C-alpha cells in the first residue's frame, strides 16, 4: 500500500500550500524588517492601523490575525516605543482604542519603496493577472464559512 493512499499530497493540501506560499513571499520582507528592528507582527499591526484609523484591539486582532493575548504584549512594547498610542474607550470603558502615531506612520513611509519593490519582483515573475486572480481566490476562501 502506497504511502499516499490515504492522504492528499501535502503540496495539494490547502493549509500547507498556503503556508509554503507565504514563506516565499515573507522571506524578503523579513529581511527588510530585520533592518528596522520590527517583527512581522508589528509591521502587520502598523499597516492595519494605518488603514483603519483608531480602532479597538479586537478589531486589530481580527484584521492582523493575532490573538488578543499576543496583541496585549506586542502593543505594550509598541506603545513604549512610540509607534502607537492607546486610550480608554469613552462610551464603553472596557475597550482600548488604538491608533498609529506619526512615528509609526513614518516607519511605514520609509519602507514603502522596499515593500513595493518586493511585490513588483513577484509580479514580474508571475504576472499581474495571476496575482490578481490569486488574491480574488484568497478573499473568497477567507469568506468561506467552516
Q: How far apart are CA 137 and CA 134, in angstroms?
A: 5
Residue 10 vs 72, nearer CB to a copy of itself: 10
Q: Does 62 bind DNA (CB under 7 A)?
A: no
CB-based burial label for 114 (10 Å; 0-12, 13-18, 19+): middle
Distance CA 94, CA 96 (A): 7
Q: Which stretch binds DNA (CB under 7 A): 8-16, 53-61, 120-128, 132-140?
A: 53-61
Piece of the chain touching DNA by CB under 7 A; list 8-16, 50-58, 110-118, 119-127 = 50-58
| The binder of DNA chosen from 14, 67, 144, 146 (CB under 7 A) | 67
C-alpha cell read off for 10: 501535502
| Using rule CB under 8 A, residue 1 touches a copy of itself | no
User: Is residue 145 at the binding interface for a copy of itself, with CB under 8 A as the rule?
Assistant: yes
Please name every residue paired with 96 in a beta bridge, in sequence order, or none if there are none: 88
Secondary structure of 85-100 as H, E, C letters: EEEECCCCCCCEEEEE
Task: Please report which helix (H) or strand (E) contains residue 54, including its range.
Answer: none
CA 47 – CA 133 distance, rounded (Å): 23
Q: Take residue 71 and report the three cell numbers written for it.
A: 496583541
One residue of 32, 47, 59, 79 binding a copy of itself per CB under 8 A? 47
Residue 39 or residue 85: which is nearer to DNA going by CB?
39
Footprint of a copy of itself on 82-101 (CB under 8 A): none
Total of residues contacting a copy of itself (CB under 8 A) = 61
Residue numbers of the site for DNA (CB under 7 A)?
Answer: 30, 34, 39-42, 56-59, 66-75, 77, 91-96
Amino acid at each position: 500500500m502506497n504511502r499516499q493512499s490515504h492522504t492528499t499530497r501535502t503540496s495539494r493540501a490547502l493549509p500547507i500550500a498556503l503556508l509554503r506560499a507565504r514563506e516565499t513571499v515573507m522571506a524578503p520582507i523579513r529581511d527588510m524588517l530585520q533592518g528596522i528592528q520590527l517583527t512581522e507582527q508589528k509591521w502587520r499591526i502598523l499597516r492595519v492601523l494605518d488603514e483603519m484609523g483608531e480602532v479597538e484591539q479586537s478589531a486589530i486582532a481580527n484584521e492582523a490575525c493575532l490573538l488578543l493575548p499576543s496583541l496585549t504584549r506586542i502593543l505594550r512594547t509598541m506603545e513604549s516605543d512610540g509607534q502607537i498610542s492607546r486610550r480608554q474607550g469613552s462610551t464603553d470603558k472596557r475597550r482600548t482604542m488604538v491608533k498609529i502615531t506619526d512615528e509609526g506612520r513614518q516607519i511605514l513611509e520609509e519602507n514603502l519603496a522596499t515593500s513595493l519593490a518586493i511585490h513588483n519582483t513577484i509580479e514580474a515573475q508571475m504576472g499581474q493577472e495571476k496575482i490578481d486572480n490569486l488574491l480574488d481566490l484568497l478573499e473568497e476562501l477567507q469568506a468561506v464559512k467552516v
